[in-house]
Amino acid sequence: MASEIELVDIQAGYGRAAPVLRGLTVSVPAGQIVCLVGPNGAGKSTVLKVASGLLKPRSGKILVGGVDVTGQGPQRMLASGVAHVLQGHSVFREMTVAENVLLGGYTLKDKALIAERTAFVKEVFPVVAQRWNSLAGLLSGGQQKQVEFARSLMVNPKVVLLDEPSMGLDPKATTTVFEQVVRMRDAGTAVLLVEQNARRALETADLGCVLDLGRVHISGPAPQLLADPQLGELYLGGRPAEPTAIPKR
Ligand SMILES: Nc1ncnc2c1ncn2[C@@H]1O[C@H](COP(=O)(O)OP(=O)(O)OP(=O)(O)O)[C@@H](O)[C@H]1O
Ligand SMILES: [Mg+2]
């Protein structure tokens, strides 16, 4: 299956410090969710930063739709169809929800398309529609997270990089976000997902990769990783949880 995004043999790090990623290879096919698992500091967010052009790799290649885009910055990566929802909060608090969401579509030229995408994200995230003219800083943390997610969907991206999308969300909002991830996958989007709740993420994902020492240590179909007792102990918090309500494809 052709991959929508491929990171090949990536070495990357910050400043003069030792590399965080040391020969990391990962790819995400269209219409699949790949979940990155690993402890705090393993380099999961760093993988996503490299994939969206926020951090230039020291070596290695990045391919989007088979085209070499290594070294391109975040703006060009977004124009190539790669959207990144950052870890933590990144809404502009002094701007309205509308302004925040519309920023996500600033590369779109066609007014009808902007209107269509706006209607889509309002339907998916009702809070975005309800608080459209509010200052984003007045929303709760979980509501702000949904505004960020809505912003990233404005461009109808081919690849979505999601860094801990459920962080700070209540169970209902978490379910909304996971449902949306599944919906994107089913519409053909390639999703690279990092989640603190690794078990729930793997239950939703098609493939999983375990990061260790800056490389993909183990990878395989998500159900296989979920069933691995050693992985369960190390990364998934022991025994399986109750099944979630989100149907697998
Ligand atoms: N902006 C930065 N400047 C310098 N070092 C950084 C920076 N961001 C991350 N690092 C370092 O890179 C390593 C990997 O960090 P990263 O944020 O990718 O981990 P992570 O797997 O996403 O962790 P978490 O689960 O806590 O989000 C850590 O050792 C961290 O200290
Ligand atoms: Mg992180």
Give residue-wise pLDDT tens across range 201-248: 999 999 999 999 999 999 999 999 999 888 877 777 665 545 555 665
When pLDDT is averaged across residues 161-170 and rounded to a whole number, the result is 88
Strands 59-64 and 67-68: antiparallel
pLDDT tens sequence across 62-95: 999 999 999 999 989 988 999 998 887 789 999 9
State if residue 197 touches ligand 1 by the CB under 6 angstroms criterion.
Answer: no
- Residue 19: count of CB within 10 angstroms of its CB: 18
Which atom of ligand 1 is least distant from the CA of 211?
21
- Residue 239: count of CB within 10 angstroms of its CB: 9
Please name the residue whose Cα sits nearest to atom 16 of ligand 1.
Answer: 43
Ligand of minimum distance to the alpha carbon of 211: 1
The mean predicted confidence, pLDDT, of the chain is 90
Ligand of minimum distance to the alpha carbon of 38: 1
Residue 50 pLDDT: 98
More confident residue, 235 or 4: 4
Q: With contact defined as beta carbons under 8 Å apart, do 98 and 132 qualify?
A: yes
Backbone φ and ψ for 162, nearest 5 degrees, come out as: -115, 115
State if residue 214 touches ligand 1 by the CB under 6 angstroms criterion.
Answer: no
Reported confidence tier of residue 175, pLDDT bands at 50, 70, 90: confident
More confident residue, 243 or 185: 185
Residue 68 pLDDT: 97
Residue 239 pLDDT: 55
State if residue 43 touches ligand 1 by the CB under 6 angstroms criterion.
Answer: yes
Would you say residue 37 has pLDDT above 80? yes
- Residue 69: count of CB within 10 angstroms of its CB: 17
State if residue 72 touches ligand 1 by the CB under 6 angstroms criterion.
Answer: no
Residue 240 pLDDT: 53
Please name the residue whose Cα sits nearest to atom 30 of ligand 1.
Answer: 41
Residue 173 pLDDT: 82
Q: What is the whole-number distance in angstroms between the Cα of residue 228 and the centre of ligand 2?
A: 24
Angle at 172 between CA 168 and CA 178, to 5 degrees: 80
Q: What is the whole-number distance in angstroms between the Cα of residue 110 and the centre of ligand 2?
A: 35
Please name the residue whose Cα sits nearest to atom 1 of ligand 1.
Answer: 14
